[in-house]
Amino acid sequence: MQVNIRYLLTISMVTALGGLLFGFDISVISGTIPFIQEYFGLNEAMKGWVVSSALIGCILGASFSGRLGDRFGRKKILLITAVLFGISAIGSGFSTAISTFVFYRILGGLAVGGASVLAPVYIAEVSPPNLRGRMVSINQLTIVLGISLAYYSNWFLLEIGENAWRWMFAAEAVPSLLFFGTLFIIPESPRWLVAREEGEKARQVLEKIADTDFAS
């Protein structure tokens, strides 16, 4: 079987940007805690709620994204997660009330939950069996890279001053936009296409990834 490794790597790395945003979103708040605690006047209990509120969205996103991906396609739901990441980044950064801040953090959590389920699923479904583990591990790598990027981004933006926390959150909009834009170059999952009885489209995707043996 002859694999078009460049194409497979490209679509896997594009999808794994969801993992990078996963890592960034869950880590970025660590550098903002002193700022938001002072700005919103949070006590310890409220600080705990504000920091952990995104996990509510993560639970919901992880619970429902698989079903939504089965119904509407992996690519469509990944596009929605990219939009949610961007909205959450801008909304969190420009919030002036604690209720809206928590809302946008939960929205980001929905995206994290969705990306954590659908990004590795998509990569697994487009990868030949002998490369599947290595391709899916790219998503794990990008999660760690996203965590590191959040810390470095926070450190770089720290010099801005009292509004630094706003830019720390808003910075996530940049990789969110990149994720959204590059998702248009990847095909729909061939497994999903087959499930929707679109076998010819699935064959075309598989033949682009590898050869006719893989497609059959």
Residue 171's pLDDT is: 96
- Tens of pLDDT, residue by residue over 109-156, are 999 999 999 999 999 999 998 899 999 999 999 999 999 999 999 999
Confidence tier at 215 by pLDDT (50, 70, 90): low
User: What is the average per-residue pLDDT within 61-66?
Assistant: 95
Residue 157's pLDDT is: 94
Beta strands in 91-206, from DSSP E residues, in sequence order? none
Topology (CATH level 3) of domain 10-188: Growth Hormone; Chain: A; (1.20.1250)
Q: With contact defined as beta carbons under 8 Å apart, do 122 and 73 qualify?
A: no
User: What is the average per-residue pLDDT within 81-105?
Assistant: 96
Residue 160's pLDDT is: 85
Burial class of residue 40, CB neighbours in 10 A (0-12, 13-18, 19+)? middle
Burial class of residue 167, CB neighbours in 10 A (0-12, 13-18, 19+)? middle
Residue 3's pLDDT is: 85
pTM for the model stands at 0.93
Burial class of residue 125, CB neighbours in 10 A (0-12, 13-18, 19+)? middle
- Tens of pLDDT, residue by residue over 3-61, are 889 999 999 999 999 999 999 999 999 999 999 999 999 999 999 999 999 999 999 99
Residue 108's pLDDT is: 96
- Tens of pLDDT, residue by residue over 150-199, are 999 999 999 888 889 999 999 999 999 999 999 999 999 999 999 999 98
User: What is the average per-residue pLDDT within 73-79?
Assistant: 96
Burial class of residue 36, CB neighbours in 10 A (0-12, 13-18, 19+)? buried
| Cα separation, 215 vs 213, whole angstroms | 5
Residue 211's pLDDT is: 66
Q: With contact defined as beta carbons under 8 Å apart, do 122 and 15 qualify?
A: yes
